[in-house]
Amino acid sequence: MSDTAIDPRYGTKPPKRPLRLSWGDERVRGIVYQILVVGIVGSIAYWLFSNTMHNLEVRRIATGWGFLEREAGLPIAEFLIPYDPTDTYLRALQVGVLNTLKVAVIGIVLATILGTILGVLKLSKNWLVSRVVGAYIEIVRDLPLLLQLLFWYALLQGLPGPRQAIHPATGVFLSNRGLKLPFFEWEGPHNWALLLMLIGAVGTYFYRRAARAKQMADGQPRAIWPAATVMMLVVPLGAWYAMGAPFTPDIPALRGFNFQGGLTVSPEFFALLLGLTLYTAGFIAEIVRAGILSVSQGQWEAAEALGLPRGRVMNLVVLPQALRVIIPPMTSQFLNITKNSSLAVAIGYQDIVSIANTTLNQTGQAIEGIAIIMVVYLTISLSISLFMNWYNSKIALVER
């Protein structure tokens, strides 16, 4: 936005006219009106705030953030960071934020992949494929998401109990308690290996940029995968091996009421993820389809006339142009997944809304609780928006 003030026809800022202190001056009027509007909005906000605080005070309803330090005493089923009911409300809320992020991030990735595939399939020349995909898109887009979530949750509850669990391979159990997968004991060296892998991924990115720059200079394409393999796989594995190669398998087994050990995908999380992914993929498919259709047939033909193979035509010619159309509505869909994840409370997945709701109910501090929920969603949504806007401006065609 910063360069909109520059008129592209001049390439420089227009000279500023000196300000005349007179009602006849358009700019003076503008400034006065703006001060007025900001003042009115500001005083309304101040009045709302002070009125609320006054009424809370009069009714002796507790306010403030002191409750965050108090012991929560809430049982939480799923957590990414260690949590115990003796921890504080603050910790419980952090667990909730991470649970929201977990389902939102995985949901965005899966919905994007599935939606893109469906969008391409809907353009298929095969009558059956395009109609089946079309029917799917219509169905998921037309039914309320809450209904779909309850449907998936009910379906997952219909699975057999833990003692009659479906058991297709060693350590894999599917029951109404969720999906159990074998894993291994997570130890210190694994953290280091993961960190090295992330550093390797960043390194690969810069390596690729450098390789691209060289290709621009001399026209020689360079393979990236050898360096990528070394940085993201060989080095982390080597470090893990050097630190004693710890590996203790953790295989789930039925003990008492439930399975112990291994990785768990709970029915609540899975139903939410499934519902969000399938629902949003329907919208993304339409966006992708529209994006591809927005690139004129002439572009395909021109690119093919240059002798480019079909894959490269897609990657180098069609997709860069389609993405310009796809990215902005895609941002809305990513925001929708994040916000819709708040329906989790209906099916018992403890996201930030669920935990903040419980917190405000236990402490009675509704305003603070709602404020926390709003700040969390605002932060996540703005982050997604900022990232997508950055990406959008990066891929935008440079026009003059």
Partner 1 sequence: MIDTIRARGQLLCGVSTGLAGFAQPNSQGVWAGFDVDYCRAVAIAIFGTEQNRVRYVPTTAQVRFTALQSGEVDMLSRNTTWTLSRDTSLGLDFTATNFYDGQGFMVKRSLGVTAARQLDGATICVQPGTTTEQNLADWARSVRVNIRPVVIERLEDNIAAYLAGRCDAYTTDVSGLAASRSAQQVPADHVILPDVISKEPLGVLVRHGDQRFADLVRWVHFGLLAAEEFGITAENAAGLATTDNRPEVQRILGRTGGLGQMMGVDNAWMLNVIRTLGNYGEISTRNLAPLGLQRGPNALWTTPGGLQYAPPFR
Which residues here bind partner 1, judged by CB under 8 A?
56, 58-62, 73-77, 85-86, 150, 154, 157-158, 161, 176-177, 255-258, 260, 267-268, 345-348, 350, 354, 357-358, 361-366
Closer to partner 1 by Cβ: residue 122 or 177: 177
Rounded least distance, CB 177 to partner 1, Å:
6
In sequence order, what are the residues at sequence separation of 6 or more whose Cβ sits closer than 8 angstroms to the Cβ of residue 252?
A: 171, 173, 180, 181, 182, 259, 260, 261, 262, 263, 264
Closer to partner 1 by Cβ: residue 61 or 386: 61
Closest CA to 343 of 333, 334, 353: 353
47 CA to centre of own chain: 36
Closer to partner 1 by Cβ: residue 107 or 267: 267
Length of the chain: 400
Rounded least distance, CB 277 to partner 1, Å:
21
In sequence order, what are the residues at sequence separation of 6 or more whose Cβ sits closer than 8 angstroms to the Cβ of residue 107?
A: 273, 276, 277, 280, 337, 341
Closer to partner 1 by Cβ: residue 32 or 62: 62
Rounded least distance, CB 364 to partner 1, Å:
4
Closer to partner 1 by Cβ: residue 157 or 332: 157
Closer to partner 1 by Cβ: residue 175 or 333: 175
DSSP H or E run through 277: helix 267-293
What three-state secondary structure class fits 308? Answer: coil
Helix 89-122 vs helix 267-293: crossing angle, to nearest 10 = 40
For residues 235 and 196, the answer to whether their CB atoms sit within 8 Å is yes
Amino acid present at 261: G
